[in-house]
Structure formats: C-alpha cells, structure tokens
Chains A and B, each alone.
Chain A
Amino acid sequence: MALLLKGGRLVDPSTGHDEVADMIVRDGRIVEIGEDLSIPKGITLECAEKIVVPGLVDLHTHLREPGREDKETVATGTRAAAHGGFTAVCAMPNTAPICDTGSKVRFLIERAEETGVVRVYPIGALTAGQKGEAIAEIGDMAEAGAVAFSDDGRGVQNAGMMRKVMDYARGFDTVVVSHCEDESLSAGGVVNEGVVSTRLGLAGWPAAAEEIAVARDIRIAELTGCRLHLAHLSTAGSVALVREAKAAGLPITAEVTPHHLLLDEDALDRSYNTNLKMNPPLRTAEDREALVEALLDGTIDCVATDHAPHARHEKELEFELAPFGTTGLETALSLMITHLIQPGRMEWADLVRAMAIAPRAAFSLPQVQFEPGAVADITIIDPEARVEVSQEWFASKSSNSAFLGATLLGKATDVLVEGRFALKNGKVVD
C-alpha cells in the first residue's frame, strides 16, 4: 500500500529539508521525496498549507498502566499521544507496581503492541521500587527494551546512591533521567516558594531545592561519565547550571514542559485551581522567560509533556491534598505553535529539533530522517487550525489540563506510525 503526501511543507533540519514537496511512503518506509510525484495506486493525502515533520516523541509520559487504569491506560494514553501529534511516548515507571524489572518492562511492551496506537518506549526505575535504596535490575530492563532509567516523581535523595546507580547504568550505556528535587528543602511544598506561597498561605517548594539537585547530578555525571537527562527543569538557576555544564562538555541533556514555558505562578492568583498544581511547581515570570531562552538557544534540548493524568475526584480536593500534575500530550504541540511559532519566536525547524530530533537523540532512539529508507513515523500539522481545549476534546481518560478553556492555534491532523495512520484528519484511528 502506497501513500502520497502531496504538497506539504517538509521540515527536517537533520536532512536540511524545509520546502514544499511530495513524499511517497510504502510498506512503512519513506521511499521518495521530490516534486510532482505520483503513485499508480494507493492513497493521496492532500497536504497543501500543512507542515510535514518527523514524528514527535514525548520523553516524559505517565501512562498509569498498570495500577491506575482509571486515570489512563496504554490504550487511552497512546490515543491521546496520537491526538496531540506524537508518534512515540516514553512511559515513566512510577506505576503500581513500579516498573523495575525486565518482566514489567516486557508487560508494558506487550500491552503497547496489543492496545497502543503509537510507539511506547518504557523507562525503567533507577532504584528498586523507586525507594532510593538499592539499584534496580537495570541490565535486565535494558535487555527487555527499557530506553532510559528514572526515579521520576521522587528523585534519588542520597547522593551516594545516585553515584552508585549512575556508575552502574554507565556499564549498560544507558541514560539516567533525573527528577531534580531535594526533598529536605521542598518537603511539603505545593507551590513555588515566594510571592504566591505567601499570598495563598501554602507551603513553598523553593527553586533552590531543584537547583541543588541539578548541581549535584551534574557533578555525579562528571564523576561517573554516565549520560544524564534532566527532567522538567523549572528555574533560571537550573538553566544556568546546565549551560555551564554543557560548555564544559559534559554528557547532559535537558527537557522543559510546555506548562513551565508558558505559565508562571501568577496564574494561581487566588484561585486554588488544582490543575495548576504540578511538580516542580510553576515558577516566576523571570524563570519562565529564562526557560524559553534556554530552549531557543539549545541549552534545553527538548520539550517533554510530563503528561500526568489524574482522576477528577482526586483533583477536586483541597489544593494541599490534590495530586501534582497536568495532562499535556494533547496540548503540547498546539501550545508551542500558538505561543512560540506564531509570534515568531521559534522556527519550525527549531520545533522539530525540540520535539522530534533531540528527544530521540537524548534516549538513543532510532532517528526518523526525511530520506528514502527511513521509517515513516510522520506528523502532519495544520498550523492554522483552531483548538478549543475543553473536557470533551481530550482523547485521554483524564482532563486535568492546566490549559482547560484555552483557544489554541495549530494542531496535528495526521500521524503516521511506520506508515500506518494513528491519527487521520484529526481523528484517532483505532
């Protein structure tokens, strides 16, 4: 079966593409790129006025299966991913039970094969049970298909333990993903420590609690030589530390979420809106601007969603009791287009770098390059489509989005995973 993508603007900085052209996909691969192409039989997809890019990858997704299938499953989470333009997600291990052995990694891969519509790359736990006490079976998990290792949600509190796991992980040539939070400083904090914590009478989670962990893990990466990926950075101080570490040539990558790029603590005002409760918390306007600049200058490599679905009854609690997190898979691309591409702060090529190329590089996933022979993981974007973010609009099981009620410009209309439609004309394909 052949597929002709007709007249779209192909953007792939890794191969230098940024022009209107046609692309032919056959048997899950890109077979030809050029002008005025035609196919004798098959499907032609009109892509005029659309942007055609290598499939987007989310490095930071909580699929909640197994254990909290009421919030999300592999089936619904991958549908949300397709709806948001992603061809692959990396699933965090903080499920119940924690994904910390090879058999649990295999379970997730099998579930993805049975029920998923986009690729799922498991991330294994760094320590057994994410308790921070003993190294998890990293070798077994890597062999089973885990692409990275993390105690996301908590972070390894003890520096000696972090050194040990990073030393060990290096032996399997894998990457360690750090959730940077020194709990002795953040303990009990639910919003950024500062103006808003004072005004709302809520316990604060200071920027220093993240920055101390970032500084620590950079030094441990230097000590061990293990590759380090810093998850969901939220402060200007963290950005400065990463900039310095990268200048020194250390093997470090970093991600930022759309909500930390586009919202700050002032959004909280007096509302106690629990959809704005996330970990790390929304920071100041200055932090937010530093994160945008860091993404634009490449200090921060990737945009990742930290898609954290929660049941409605859990989010409808008192602010201090509600769980941390916002969903993100379905709004990330539209948010980036609306707030960074449309105002001219970011080029399409930069967006492709941040959401497709750099994520694959960070976790050593196979790259999708626009050239014959490449796997056809492709996202097609209508940059002018309007999106009204409402509860009904989500394919995710949960709708705890920090952006509920927003009107956004630009969205994915079609998603191809190895040449098969996961999203077609805006609708998820089962």
Chain B
Amino acid sequence: MSALTSPHIMTMDDLTAEDITTILDMAESFKEVNERRIKKLPTLRGRTIVNLFLEPSTRTRMSFEIAAKRLSADGVNMTASASATVKGESLRDTAKTLSAMACDLIVVRHKYAGAPQVLAECMDAHVVNGGDGMNQHPTQALLDLFTMRQHTGRLEGLTVGIVGDISHSRVAGSLVPALNKVGAKPIIIAPPTLLPPRPDVYGAEVATSLDEVLPSLDIAYMLRIQMERAEGMPFPSIREYARFYGMNEARLTAARPEMLVMHPGPMNRGVEVTSAVADSPRAIVLDQVNAGVAVRMAVMYLLLGGDGGGASA
C-alpha cells in the first residue's frame, strides 16, 4: 500500500497538495538521517530500484542512487551507453525485461516526453520520472519546494520568478504546477522566443522583463541556458541574455533584501548568474542538491511503503 494517491510519479498531476506535504514532511526526517555519521536505514532492504537513464545525467542519477543506498535498497543503474537501446531494443521491451527481473521501482530519465507512461503501461513496478524530454521533472520540483520551505518557512503565498528557457525546460514544466498546488505564485520570465506557445496552460503569470517583476519576487529561480542549439539561438548573444535575464549583484540589490536565488544546476556562471551571486549566501543552490537526496528517499519510501516509520525505524 502506497501512502500516496498514485502508484507512480510521472508528472505533477500524479500528486495532490496533501501528497506533496506528505513527501516534504517525510523528507525532513530523512534530511536528518543524511546529517548523521552513519547515513543508512534498513527500511527498503531487499527492494530493487533501477535507475534507467537513457539520457546523459550525472547529478540526478547520483542523487537517486545515493537515496536508494541510504534506504538499503538494491540499486542498479542502466545507462544509455550500456543499455540495450543502442542495440535497437524498444523502450517497451526494455520495460518488460526489467519487469521480468521483478524490479520494485524504476526511475527513468529519457530524452523523449511520455517515456514514464510507456514504462508504467508495460511493467508492474512503480515509476518515478527522472526527467522526460521537455515535459516534466517532478522530483526536481519537489526538492525545490523543500528548499523553499526550509528557507522561508512557508510555501503558500510565495512569489517565485522562473527565469530563462521555459519552453524547453522540464524543470519549469513541473515547478509551475507544483507551485500552483501549494498555493505559491509562479511568474515565468523569458524572452518570447523561450516561452512555451501557450503559457496560460501552465497557469503562470508571464513577464518578458525581469527588472519589472524583480521587486515582487521572494525567489528568483534561474534556469540553465542551453548554449548549443541545432535550430539556432533564441537570443542574439550570451552577453545580451545575461544583460537582460541574468542575476547579478545590481539585481540582487534592487530585489527584496530577503529574495533568494535558486538554480537546478549545473550553473553557467556569467550567464544565468554571476559568480558573485552564485557564491553569495542568498544563493541556495547547494541546499537544493542536499534536499534532492532526502526528497528522493521520501519518494522511494512512500511509493514502496517501507516497513516501520521511515527515518525513525
């Protein structure tokens, strides 16, 4: 029996506001575990968790891997270079193969949107989306909420400006609905070339000028800019992008003194954030990374219904 509404976390649609609170509260206790000298719990002993990473990723994969290990689950990695997919096996067959090996939970990162749904259709295991194409990355949104709550003590009523490549960003794809669910106010801020075709579908306010909305923000969430694009750059130069949409000391000064800066990483210093901002105490990027492990432990624990009382076990 899972403690959550849905057996899978494929998009933010799978989670209710109550589910989100349950996950964040559970993550609090796991965060405490992560601060111990012996960072390991026996709760998921004997359960098998597969990290199916069909797109290059180091940080997210490591975060899931560490989370699984700290819960004593048996974690297995399957990555693009080593996987059967390069030999031409379809995702469905990969899913069925993994299902035949009796895996309990699968974390999938894939270049194409909808891959988690394909897996969920083809196997009995719980599916956690570790990022699918330009669609969603729900555990990133959860760890972001965790970090926001940790620093501000609340989520409801927070105004969060999400700045940058919204249209290609699965981070924004999950963060916007996540913020709406917990009663925060997302504003997406980007040049029109980086906005999705119908931002209203996201349920976010839209701004094209960072400076205009800057004073209203509790949090500036800076998205990573992809420097190389086949279809041509959506802005004239890195210099111009940084000038209008980058977070620098002048903007930090113009913003509310308590405004925090977040980034899903890895950062392009000098583009989305200057080094001075990245290294300032108002940037809480490493807290996000830290929260990632605890939140992913909570997700695994709640989906797999570990025995006993989680961190207290």
In the assembled complex, the CB of B135 is this many whole angstroms from the nearest CB of chain A, namely 3
Residues on B with C-beta less than 8 A from A320 are: 112-114, 133
Could you say which of A187, A198, A200, A321 has the most chain B C-beta atoms within 10 Å of its C-beta?
Answer: A198
Beyond the given A201-B113, A318-B91, please list 15 additional residue pairs across the A-B interface where CB-CB is below 8 A: A194-B197, A195-B201, A199-B201, A201-B132, A202-B114, A202-B134, A206-B197, A270-B11, A270-B13, A316-B92, A318-B112, A318-B113, A319-B114, A320-B114, A321-B112
In the assembled complex, the CB of B87 is this many whole angstroms from the nearest CB of chain A, namely 15
- Assess the A194–B198 pair: CB atoms within 8 A: yes
**Complex: how many Å from CA A204 to CA B135?**
13
Residue of A nearest to B166 (CB): A198
Residues on A with C-beta less than 8 A from B196 are: 197-198
Residues on B with C-beta less than 8 A from A255 are: none
**Complex: how many Å from CA A197 to CA B167?**
10
- Assess the A198–B112 pair: CB atoms within 8 A: no
Q: Does A203 contact B (CB under 8 A)?
A: yes
- Assess the A317–B91 pair: CB atoms within 8 A: yes
Q: A200-215 vs B: 1/0 string, CB under 8 Å?
A: 1111101000000000
Question: Which residues of A from 181 to 238 have beta carbons under 8 Å from B?
Answer: 187-188, 193-195, 197-204, 206
**Complex: how many Å from CA A19 to CA B201?**
52
Q: Does A41 contact B (CB under 8 A)?
A: no
* Subset of 10 A-B contacts with CB under 8 Å: A187-B231, A198-B196, A201-B113, A201-B132, A201-B136, A201-B170, A272-B114, A318-B110, A318-B113, A320-B133
Q: Which 6 A-B pairs have the closest CB atoms?
A: A201-B135, A272-B114, A318-B112, A201-B113, A198-B201, A201-B134
- Assess the B134–A193 pair: CB atoms within 8 A: no
**Complex: how many Å from CA A200 to CA B170?**
10
Question: Which residues of B from 187 to 231 have beta carbons under 8 Å from A?
Answer: 196-199, 201-202, 231
Q: Does B90 contact A (CB under 8 A)?
A: yes
- Assess the B133–A201 pair: CB atoms within 8 A: yes
Q: Does B173 contact A (CB under 8 A)?
A: yes
- Assess the A188–B133 pair: CB atoms within 8 A: no
Could you say which of A201, A206, A313, A318 has the most chain B C-beta atoms within 10 Å of its C-beta?
Answer: A201
In the assembled complex, the CB of A212 is this many whole angstroms from the nearest CB of chain B, namely 17
Q: B88-117 vs A: 1/0 string, CB under 8 Å?
A: 001110000000000000000010111101
**Complex: how many Å from CA A242 to CA B276?**
58
Residues on B with C-beta less than 8 A from A199 are: 201
Q: Does B118 contact A (CB under 8 A)?
A: yes
Indicate the size class of the contact surface on chain A.
20 to 34
Q: B13-34 vs A: 1/0 string, CB under 8 Å?
A: 1000000000000000000000
In the assembled complex, the CB of A48 is this many whole angstroms from the nearest CB of chain B, namely 47
- Assess the A318–B197 pair: CB atoms within 8 A: no
- Assess the A193–B197 pair: CB atoms within 8 A: yes
In the assembled complex, the CB of A258 is this many whole angstroms from the nearest CB of chain B, namely 25
In the assembled complex, the CB of B94 is this many whole angstroms from the nearest CB of chain A, namely 11
In the assembled complex, the CB of B206 is this many whole angstroms from the nearest CB of chain A, namely 12
In the assembled complex, the CB of A417 is this many whole angstroms from the nearest CB of chain B, namely 40
Residues on B with C-beta less than 8 A from A188 are: 231
Residues on A with C-beta less than 8 A from B199 are: 198
Residues on A with C-beta less than 8 A from B110 are: 318
- Assess the A200–B198 pair: CB atoms within 8 A: no
**Complex: how many Å from CA A200 to CA B133?**
10
Decide yes or no: A202 and B197 within 8 Å by CB, A187-B231, A316-B90 being known contacts.
Answer: no
Question: Which residues of B from 116 to 142 have beta carbons under 8 Å from A?
Answer: 117-118, 132-136
Residue of B nearest to A313 (CB): B90
In the assembled complex, the CB of A277 is this many whole angstroms from the nearest CB of chain B, namely 11
Question: Which listed residue (A187, A204, A271) contacts B197, Cβ 8 A?
Answer: A204
Question: Which listed residue (A195, A203, A270) contacts B134, Cβ 8 A?
Answer: A203
In the assembled complex, the CB of A404 is this many whole angstroms from the nearest CB of chain B, namely 15
Residue of B nearest to A274 (CB): B114
In the assembled complex, the CB of B16 is this many whole angstroms from the nearest CB of chain A, namely 16
In the assembled complex, the CB of A206 is this many whole angstroms from the nearest CB of chain B, namely 7
Could you say which of B91, B112, B170, B199 has the most chain A C-beta atoms within 10 Å of its C-beta?
Answer: B112
Residue of A nearest to B10 (CB): A270
**Complex: how many Å from CA A270 to CA B110?**
17
Residues on B with C-beta less than 8 A from A193 are: 197
Residues on B with C-beta less than 8 A from A319 are: 112-114
- Assess the B114–A318 pair: CB atoms within 8 A: yes
**Complex: how many Å from CA A317 to CA B94?**
12
Residues on B with C-beta less than 8 A from A187 are: 231
- Assess the A272–B134 pair: CB atoms within 8 A: no
**Complex: how many Å from CA A313 to CA B114?**
17
Question: Which residues of A from 156 to 203 have beta carbons under 8 Å from B?
Answer: 187-188, 193-195, 197-203
**Complex: how many Å from CA A194 to CA B170?**
17
- Assess the B118–A318 pair: CB atoms within 8 A: yes
Residues on B with C-beta less than 8 A from A321 are: 112
Decide yes or no: A200 and B114 within 8 Å by CB, A188-B231, A316-B90, A316-B92 being known contacts.
Answer: yes
Residue of A nearest to B122 (CB): A316
- Assess the A272–B113 pair: CB atoms within 8 A: yes
**Complex: how many Å from CA A199 to CA B198?**
9
- Assess the B202–A198 pair: CB atoms within 8 A: yes
Residues on A with C-beta less than 8 A from B134 are: 201-203
Question: Which listed residue (A202, A270, A313, A316) contacts B133, Cβ 8 A?
Answer: A202
**Complex: how many Å from CA A376 to CA B114?**
50
Residues on A with C-beta less than 8 A from B112 are: 318-321
